[in-house]
Amino acid sequence: MRRVLLLAVLAIVAAGCGTSATYDTDEVVDAFKRHGFTLRNGYPFDSARETVDAHDGDLLIPTPRSRAEFIVLVLSNAAADDAWRAYEPGQTPDSFDARRANVMVISDTGLSTSQRRRALGALSSLPSHGAPVMVAGRK
C-alpha cells in the first residue's frame, strides 16, 4: 500500500502541471458505480489531503462496503502520462494497475478476478475519446 500512496501523492502533485483532462471525476464515479463500486474522495493520511487540496487532481477510494482495496486517480492527461510511466514498471505479483486516458486504477493488494473485471468494465464504459484501456504488464 505504501507504493500506492507514495505514487498517488506524486501523481497528484504532477497534476498541477497540465489542466487538460479527458474524463472528469463525476463521469468516473458514475462509471464505477454502474460496476458495483461506490467511490468517494479519500485521503489515507493528512499529508495526502494537503497535497490533493494544493493541486488539481482527485484521489478516489471505494467505500468500505465495496470490500476492495484500490485507489482511482483522476488527473490531467499530462500528469496521468507521467504517473503511468512510474507505475507500469513497478508491478508485483499482487498489483493491478489500469488506465484509460487521465484515469488510473491502482491496487497493490491483489484484487479478486471479479473485482479486476469490474474495474476494467468501469474504465471500458467511459466514452472512448480514442483512448484505450491499458493494464500494466500487458501489451
Q: Pick the closest to residue 37 from 94, 108, 96, 120 (CA basis).
A: 120
Residue 118 to residue 120: CA distance in whole angstroms: 5
Residue 57 to residue 16: CA distance in whole angstroms: 8
CA atoms within 13 A on the CB side of 1: 7
96 bridge partner residues = 107
Q: Is 13 helix (H, G, I), strand (E, B) or coil?
A: helix
φ, ψ of residue 67 in degrees (nearest 5): 50, 45
- Over residues 65-115, the pLDDT tens digits come to 777 788 898 988 888 888 888 777 777 888 899 999 999 998 888 789 999
- Over residues 30-67, the pLDDT tens digits come to 999 999 999 988 765 555 555 455 446 788 989 877 77
Q: Is the pTM of this model over 0.75?
A: yes
Is 62 in contact with 68 (CB distance < 8 Å)? yes
